[in-house]
Amino acid sequence: MAQADSQPSIERLQDLIQKHRVCYEVWPAYLMVEGKRVQVGFELELCGTHEPEGDQFEPGCPQCHQTFDDLQQIAEWVKPKKARASRYEIQPFDRALRETPKRGFRPEVVLSMKILHRHGFDQPVDECEEFCLKEMQTKLRELGVPEGSWHSHQS
């Protein structure tokens, strides 16, 4: 019996995006190489939130874990499926809530995914990492995930 693909549907992912008011940001990933700062890849962050338990948010609460799990489903969907010269590392859940003025200091769970060279981790960023980042951003736009801050969508 063939195993069915366990990827969630686009509709399911869009429901998660609405539920957690997901947005994303991209940051350069740097290393010190021979005394010089070198950009070696990118860090793509998915940022989402959940309704507070009572009137407070508690870092690492069960809802935070569920939010991270939901963000991970989105990250897995946008990750390139073909083997390339780059690799993608989803960082573990850090049990923290983050806040930024850019998004009105809303308490957020953040999933960080690094886009790096598969070999030669200290090499400068190249076309492969740039192509993979653009592919992920295209898939995020396809799902309706805004860059930088959440924008409410009318259903």
Where do runs of H (alpha helix) occur along 1-155? 10-20, 62-78, 127-143
pTM higher than 0.75 for the full model?
yes
Q: At CA 27, angle to CA 23 and CA 32, rounded to 5?
A: 160
Q: Is the pLDDT of residue 51 over 90?
A: no
Please, which pLDDT band fits residue 59 given cuts at 50, 70 and 90? Answer: confident
Contact yes or no for 17/145 (Cβ under 8 A): yes
Please, which pLDDT band fits residue 54 given cuts at 50, 70 and 90? Answer: low
Contact yes or no for 67/50 (Cβ under 8 A): yes
- Dist CA 72 CA 48 (whole Å): 11
Per-residue model confidence (pLDDT) at position 7: 77
Per-residue model confidence (pLDDT) at position 154: 39
